[in-house]
Amino acid sequence: MLRTHTCGELRLENINQEVSLAGWVQRVRNKGGLIWVDLRDRYGVTQLIFEEGSTDKNLLEKAAQLGREFVVKASGLVIERTSKNDKIPTGSIEIKVSDLEVLNPAKVPPFIIEDETDGGDDLRMKYRYLDLRRNVVREKLQLRHRMMQETRKYMDAQNFIEVETPVLIKSTPEGARDFVVPSRVNPGEFYALPQSPQTFKQLLMVSGFDRYFQIVKCFRDEDLRADRQPEFTQIDCEMSFVSQEDILNTFEGLTRHLFREVMGIELEEVKRMTFADAMKYYGNDKPDLRFDMKFVELNELVKGKGFGIFDSAELIVGICAKGAAEYTRKQLDELTDWVKRPQIGAKGLVHVKYNSDGSLKSTVDKFYSQDDLNAWAEAFGAEPGDLMLVLSGDAKSVRKQLSELRLKMGEDLGLRDRTVFKPLWVVDFPLLEWDEETSRFHAMHHPFTSPKKEDIPLLETNPGAVRANAYDLVINGVEIGGGSIRIHDKTTQQLMFKHLGFSEEEAQKQFGFLMEAFEYGAPPHGGIAFGFDRLCAIFGGSDSIRDYIAFPKNNSGRDVMIDSPSTIAEEQLEELSIRVQLKK
Ligand code: ASP
């Protein structure tokens, strides 16, 4: 080894030891006859000292020539520092260097490689390997590593078998576009990259594997956001001979295990809520339960008092922001502008202040008396000091708008504390979702999800009302995982494809293998997949999953470091029998 210790290891106990360290020069402070160098590796920073008089002249000169990010090996004696730095664990000692070897010089890095950096996003992504030298970035990947190890530990202890499934496959519908790969030996044919290993894990159940898991890359060609990457990682799982309850318990167990082992947190009980309630009370299928602010519907109370906007609205619904009656006129105007932005799309915002003297002041005083407003306050459970915010319109849009407003108010009032974790199972999702664009039903989860038995007759009469044995794990308003009990017989699966608008031939062509497998003894089964990157981001307290991915892509799906995607050579295209002709 080039080193006897790491740069994070030496303490007062090591004084007078001869040691060798190797690492990167983080900083050089040259005070003429006295040079300090901060030497960094993954474990920490240790100070090196070179002093005129006691340090050899050549050595002093060599030290003076060190630049940022040079890779060096330094040998010398551990001594006690005269002025100690209690901010770093090695702050009581320094190394009086007797030998210095430059293992590799470095160009001046394009940004400062410290916790606080001057590098913007784009620059840091282009030089991601340098960005990864920064503690704050590396620590996120270390968290990811811990999560991965603990996941494997838990799953193994629960008798799950980790099986790898192929990456060059045929389309698995998870609601996104496929990435495709041309086949050289089968000209004109393409593989699809898995949006998830869904069909394979179900086939493994037919094979009798009984409990499968895999920490696996999935690929979805979707528009990107902070919590989406074209390739991302799932903890993918499937179980046989289980009920929904068994799956929820097993994966509540995994979540609990991760919180305990990785964060030292004893997770509170995971609440349950139906999809219908989530939509009714939070306007959202992934409610953030770190704060209350439930929706209160006001139709009964507010209609028929001459206020046309409410009278003509399908739904009048509001939230009560505790203690926000102090909001100034300006703040309230800003809030109104905020809900009217095209991204939110509300027509306006009605507010009622419950003043500390018990009086109520609203923007609709013309139509509603104090008694009326008192009745609203009662419906909201409001107290003096609270602010009631009310939106109206068609039910679907208004719920969505109010959900956004609720999250904003939660944020503004400091109720979305990143160190508090509120897990929730959302259950009883609808099986199908109407898609305006294509004018047909889509599987809300995926086409292999089983309808609730009692709802099957509704498939013919009211498909939108059929509930599925499907569930999501939500933490702090983020969908962390989702799964379902599956269909395991050919007839139901065929029926499902029919309702999704597949012709018999299409269904056969795309999923014939699965339906055939169901004819060879398929056990009842179900499973779930966790978005691993998101789970890491929640644990680490960030919004962006990118921080938890070693080499992420930017918002246009580009890896700016390796410059991909890129065109390929003529010969490669030739081999693939492909000619590229871009449409205008
Ligand atoms: N394959 C599903 C997904 O990726 C998860 C599951 O149903 O197990 O969302």
Sign of the dihedral defined by the CA atoms of residues 425, 426, 432, 434, in that order: negative
Q: What are the start-end ranges of the E strands in 42-125?
A: 44-51, 71-80, 93-104
Interval between CA 256 and ligand 1 midpoint (Å): 20
Q: Which two tokens stand for residue 307?
A: 């206020």
Interval between CA 487 and ligand 1 midpoint (Å): 14
Q: Which two tokens stand for residue 568?
A: 């390929």
pLDDT of the chain, 584 residues: tens digit per residue? 999 999 999 999 999 999 999 999 999 999 988 999 999 999 999 999 999 888 889 999 999 999 999 999 999 999 999 999 999 999 999 999 999 999 999 999 999 999 999 999 999 999 999 999 999 999 999 999 999 999 999 999 999 999 999 999 998 778 899 999 999 999 999 999 999 999 999 999 999 999 999 999 999 999 887 778 999 999 999 999 999 999 999 999 999 999 999 999 999 999 999 999 999 999 999 999 999 999 999 999 999 999 999 999 999 999 999 999 999 999 999 999 999 999 999 999 999 999 999 999 999 999 999 999 999 999 999 999 999 999 999 999 999 999 999 999 999 999 999 999 999 999 999 999 998 888 889 999 999 999 999 999 998 899 999 999 999 999 999 999 999 999 999 999 999 999 998 999 999 999 999 999 999 999 999 999 999 999 999 999 998 999 999 999 998 999 999 999 999 999 999 999 999 999 98
- Burial class from Cβ neighbours inside 10 Å (0-12, 13-18, 19+) for residue 210 reads middle
pLDDT at site 474: 98
Closest-CA residue, ligand 1 atom 3, reads 529
pLDDT at site 584: 81
Interval between CA 335 and ligand 1 midpoint (Å): 38
pLDDT at site 439: 87
Candidate from 232, 234, 235 with most ligand 1 atoms within 8 A of CB, to mutate:
234
CA 260 to the chain's CA centroid: 20
Interval between CA 483 and ligand 1 midpoint (Å): 5
Pairwise CA distance, residues 541 & 143, whole Å: 11
Provide the residue type at 368 as one letter.
Answer: Y
Whether the bond between 524 and the residue before it is cis, its omega within 30 degrees of 0, is no
**Pair 364, 356: CB distance under 8 Å:** no
3-state secondary structure of 260: helix
Pairwise CA distance, residues 137 & 476, whole Å: 23
Pairwise CA distance, residues 198 & 202, whole Å: 6
pLDDT at site 437: 87
> How many alpha carbons lie under 13 Å from residue 377 in its C-beta half-sphere?
24
pLDDT at site 399: 98
Pairwise CA distance, residues 4 & 22, whole Å: 9
Provide the residue type at 166 as one letter.
Answer: P
Binding site membership of 527 for ligand 1 (Cβ less than 6 Å): yes
Candidate from 174, 251, 485, 535 with most ligand 1 atoms within 8 A of CB, to mutate:
174
Pairwise CA distance, residues 67 & 135, whole Å: 20
pLDDT at site 53: 86
Binding site membership of 528 for ligand 1 (Cβ less than 6 Å): yes
Closest-CA residue, ligand 1 atom 7, reads 483
Q: What are the start-end ranges of the E strands in 309-412?
A: 315-321, 350-354, 360-362, 387-393
3-state secondary structure of 3: coil
Pairwise CA distance, residues 9 & 134, whole Å: 18
Pairwise CA distance, residues 300 & 316, whole Å: 9
Interval between CA 196 and ligand 1 midpoint (Å): 7
pLDDT at site 227: 79
Provide the residue type at 359 as one letter.
Answer: S
Candidate from 212, 213, 446, 487 with most ligand 1 atoms within 8 A of CB, to mutate:
446
Interval between CA 445 and ligand 1 midpoint (Å): 8
pLDDT at site 479: 96
Pairwise CA distance, residues 351 & 388, whole Å: 5
Provide the residue type at 48 as one letter.
Answer: L
CA-atom Rg of the chain in angstroms: 30
Interval between CA 448 and ligand 1 midpoint (Å): 10
Nearest C-alpha neighbor of 182 from the set 193, 192, 190:
190
Q: Which two tokens stand for residue 388?
A: 């009631």
Whether the pTM exceeds 0.75: the reply is yes
pLDDT at site 338: 97
